[in-house]
A and B are shown apart, each in its own frame.
Chain A
């Protein structure tokens, strides 16, 4: 059946298209309190609200960086925070032409009877929460479903369950004015080669779009946040061109042209690797009717974090690191990144953590 036509129809389409503006992408700054604690711990910073706030302020007030960013995904706490001077973060972002987004899922739980496969929670009361977030200024949402590749995985059950969870979430968001980012992340862990990743990615994305269609989701008002198609973490590396070719082909086989933008997750790639791969993806010749951009968390913040180390006197240095990565990824969305950005400390460091849990 066709998509439902709610009161936010035109706004959803406009916002989704805006996020996919060439040259821009998404900063994923929606680490839960627990996860951001790990980040802060890695630079010996205490996990308290003031520090979490300070880190996000550092990012959002970097001079010249927000022009490369069309949206920022926030954790709930951050949506209601302000700068030290008292200006609400949503206002800082809005004034810079950046759409605030909000993580709405409540994490993953295991599917009984499987070998560690998961489903994502968060549907209860989701409509009311989305309406509240919309009031607070959010205009898009994110929900992360997780699948893994193994001898018997992903199972039919896991694919079906995660696809239909994403579809329910997506239509509830649209009913409440939020553009849903549809994120079926297939973890990179494993010894499999790129062909297997490609086959599974195609299978999972086909199931996702079937579910979205069954749930009457307005595709023009959604975004897709998939993994790039790569070899498993325990498998020999391939060139960015090979990653790009397999990734674009997987999308050509599964993603309708009505979807305005695909914003890749970085999934443990180093900052530089993620930019270089995104650049190669944008250089692939062939049919690419969607914008191909980024929604990076670790791959945008790693060197910034290291440069900051929680110290006020390092803010400028940290902001310079963030600006460098933001600009690099902006160029990557245009296929013009030359890989010559001043690599901050840690920019080439792999960010892969086995069986990563947010």
Chain B
């Protein structure tokens, strides 16, 4: 039996000021406040923000790599991991003209939220001008989960409320928290519960401070399991997630999801076609995602740029109750990085290549993408076994 459902009842708050009304004499005398407290004064804004991010033909550019991870990206093109280089790279991306036609939101790492262009223009202002909503990664990374089967859990709840309020002041309007689930490790019931509960707490705190929470339980691509197993695990994970979100009185019209697509494990002998991936993923969504959720922004998780686009396109061939879109990091940036090579003279070309990927995914969101003319680089897989951010 799911004993966790008895754990926390957010409908009951012990109230010490007893009224003169008497309940049944056989019960305790604590009065319960029965109206759930929904996301405070920000509810309408959250709903509007979520809708803006989930606008047709647009998706999210994820550039929230931590400094360590950004370092890996820079190293791959021979650059040192300095603040100047990180700033230069993000500036390249965020000042791409016309980006707002295909991108509705950009996720920042904390450092980047407070940075500006070399001309002194705040990054958040660059985005606002393009009607792109700034977002912020708020989790503090994964650490080993004691008592589990070598699995991780995501930290970041301590002081989250005040950090979120600060980020809101700086201009962020949505947040992101990435936890992971590993199929080769089970996943254990403990790991799934922890992932789901952490996301639910984070989501409630975010909404309370004006940030639309992106809910991201990434089911890692690692493993040799077939697609049926991924579907099974995904359904379990999302069932837990939505139940705990509901228990925490999260407003579903003011969240976004960032799921992994339902695919076979990276080491599984058979690759699945975009249509198979689309069918399995849509089945999972139909069985688990309440229609009130406005947007589902898929992560790419190591797929090649073209694969990620093709799969998204396959999912948008028929109508569904949500906005099915993208929140891609590597699948949008890979070619950009390689084109830039850290040289100022390559900036324009690099920005053009970003627009190419952004436009391709925009078309995929509308179900109108064709892979003709894609470069070889764009088709290279980016799966790294045991990938840690």
Which residues of A line the B interface, CB within 8 A?
1-3, 113, 115, 151-152, 156-157, 160, 164, 195-196, 199-200, 202-203, 206-207, 209-211, 213-214, 219-220, 249, 251-258, 287-289
Contact: B289 with A256, CB < 8 Å?
A: yes
One of A196, A210, A213, A253 near B5 (C-beta < 8 A): A210
Contact: A152 with B32, CB < 8 Å?
A: yes
Which of the candidate stretches B132-140, B204-212, B235-243 sits at the interface with the other chain? B235-243
Contact: B239 with A156, CB < 8 Å?
A: no
One of A199, A210, A289 near B36 (C-beta < 8 A): A199
Inter-chain contacts of B1 with A (CB < 8 A): 164
Can you name 17 A-B pairs with beta carbons within 8 Å? A3-B287, A151-B21, A156-B9, A164-B1, A195-B35, A200-B34, A202-B246, A203-B246, A207-B243, A209-B243, A213-B287, A214-B2, A252-B290, A253-B290, A256-B286, A256-B288, A258-B286
Given contact pairs A1-B232, A115-B27, A253-B292, A151 touches B34 in the complex (Cβ within 8 A): yes
Closest Cβ–Cβ distance, residue B350 to chain A (whole Å): 39
Closest to A153 in B: B34
Contact: A210 with B243, CB < 8 Å?
A: yes
Q: Chain A at the B interface: mostly helix, strand, loop or mixed?
A: helix
Contact: A2 with B290, CB < 8 Å?
A: no
Given contact pairs A151-B31, A258-B286, A253 touches B239 in the complex (Cβ within 8 A): no
Contact: A2 with B289, CB < 8 Å?
A: no
Contact: A254 with B235, CB < 8 Å?
A: no
Contact: A156 with B235, CB < 8 Å?
A: no
Closest to B284 in A: A2
Whole-angstrom CA separation of A172 from B290 in the bound complex: 25
Inter-chain contacts of A254 with B (CB < 8 A): 246, 290
| Highest count of chain B CB atoms <10 Å: which of A2, A200, A206 | A2
Given contact pairs A151-B34, A214-B239, A289 touches B321 in the complex (Cβ within 8 A): yes
Question: In this assembly, does B291 line the interface, its C-beta being within 8 Å of a C-beta of chain A?
Answer: yes
Inter-chain contacts of A252 with B (CB < 8 A): 252, 290-292
Inter-chain contacts of A156 with B (CB < 8 A): 5-6, 9
Q: How many A-B residue pairs have CB under 8 A?
A: 101
Closest Cβ–Cβ distance, residue B59 to chain A (whole Å): 20
Closest Cβ–Cβ distance, residue A157 to chain B (whole Å): 8
Closest Cβ–Cβ distance, residue A340 to chain B (whole Å): 32
Contact: A257 with B231, CB < 8 Å?
A: no
One of B21, B24, B321 near A257 (C-beta < 8 A): B321
Inter-chain contacts of B5 with A (CB < 8 A): 156, 160, 207, 210
Question: In this assembly, does B23 line the interface, its C-beta being within 8 Å of a C-beta of chain A?
Answer: yes
Closest to B245 in A: A206
Question: In this assembly, does B272 line the interface, its C-beta being within 8 Å of a C-beta of chain A?
Answer: no
Closest Cβ–Cβ distance, residue B39 to chain A (whole Å): 13
Complex interface residues of chain B between 1 and 36 (CB less than 8 A to chain A): 1-2, 5-6, 9, 11, 21, 23-24, 26-27, 31-32, 34-36
Inter-chain contacts of B232 with A (CB < 8 A): 1-2
Given contact pairs A156-B6, A210-B5, A196 touches B35 in the complex (Cβ within 8 A): yes
Inter-chain contacts of B231 with A (CB < 8 A): 2
Inter-chain contacts of B286 with A (CB < 8 A): 256-258, 289
- Of all A-B residue pairs in the complex, the 5 with the closest CB atoms, nearest first, are A206-B246, A213-B239, A252-B292, A2-B232, A258-B286
Whole-angstrom CA separation of A11 from B333 in the bound complex: 47
| Highest count of chain B CB atoms <10 Å: which of A151, A160, A289 | A151
Inter-chain contacts of B9 with A (CB < 8 A): 156
Whole-angstrom CA separation of A345 from B201 in the bound complex: 54
Closest Cβ–Cβ distance, residue A172 to chain B (whole Å): 17
Whole-angstrom CA separation of A252 from B235 in the bound complex: 18
Inter-chain contacts of B253 with A (CB < 8 A): 253
Inter-chain contacts of A1 with B (CB < 8 A): 232, 235-236
Contact: A287 with B292, CB < 8 Å?
A: yes
Inter-chain contacts of A249 with B (CB < 8 A): 292
Whole-angstrom CA separation of A254 from B242 in the bound complex: 9
One of B2, B32, B242 near A206 (C-beta < 8 A): B242
Complex interface residues of chain B between 281 and 327 (CB less than 8 A to chain A): 283, 285-292, 320-321
Contact: B292 with A219, CB < 8 Å?
A: no
| Highest count of chain A CB atoms <10 Å: which of B1, B26, B288, B290 | B290
Closest to B233 in A: A1
Closest to A202 in B: B246
Closest Cβ–Cβ distance, residue A269 to chain B (whole Å): 24
Closest to B6 in A: A156
* Known A151-B31, A196-B34; further 20 A-B contacts with Cβ < 8 A: A2-B231, A3-B287, A115-B23, A152-B27, A156-B6, A199-B35, A199-B36, A206-B242, A209-B239, A209-B243, A210-B239, A210-B242, A213-B236, A219-B287, A249-B292, A251-B291, A252-B291, A253-B253, A256-B286, A257-B286
Closest Cβ–Cβ distance, residue B287 to chain A (whole Å): 4
Complex interface residues of chain B between 33 and 59 (CB less than 8 A to chain A): 34-36
Contact: A213 with B235, CB < 8 Å?
A: yes
Closest Cβ–Cβ distance, residue B304 to chain A (whole Å): 28
Inter-chain contacts of B27 with A (CB < 8 A): 115, 152
Inter-chain contacts of B26 with A (CB < 8 A): 113, 115
| Highest count of chain A CB atoms <10 Å: which of B6, B287, B288 | B287
Complex interface residues of chain B between 208 and 250 (CB less than 8 A to chain A): 228, 231-232, 235-236, 239, 242-243, 246-247
Whole-angstrom CA separation of A226 from B90 in the bound complex: 51
Closest Cβ–Cβ distance, residue A5 to chain B (whole Å): 10
Inter-chain contacts of A258 with B (CB < 8 A): 283, 286-287
Whole-angstrom CA separation of A351 from B34 in the bound complex: 28
Inter-chain contacts of A255 with B (CB < 8 A): 290-291
Whole-angstrom CA separation of A94 from B343 in the bound complex: 75
Whole-angstrom CA separation of A220 from B286 in the bound complex: 9
Inter-chain contacts of A160 with B (CB < 8 A): 5-6
